[in-house]
Amino acid sequence: MSDLLFDDLPEDLSPKLQWMKRHHLQVKETDDGGWIAYKSRTNHFYRNKDKDIAIAGLAKKLKLRLWNEEPV
């Protein structure tokens, strides 16, 4: 049996993940159980105990519209 059964499926990201990818935003859990959202290759970051608040805080800091606020 092949382990490659689903390798041909296209990557289908949520609107939020597409937005994060487009703006080069990443999020990681910290050792203390919080979250840090950061922009790749920069010193911009935002920490919070809630993952979504960390992402939204970074977006506000960078003056970006959130994924659900951008025009279609």
HEC letters along 29-70: ECCCCCEEEEECCCCCEEEECCHHHHHHHHHHHCCCCCCCCC
Domain interval for residue 27: 15-61
**pTM > 0.85: yes or no:** no
**Pairwise CA distance, residues 36 & 2, whole Å:** 38
Q: What is the pLDDT of residues 16-64, one digit of tens each?
A: 999 999 999 999 999 999 999 999 999 999 999 999 999 999 999 999 9
Residue 66 belongs to a domain: no
Number of domains in the chain: 1
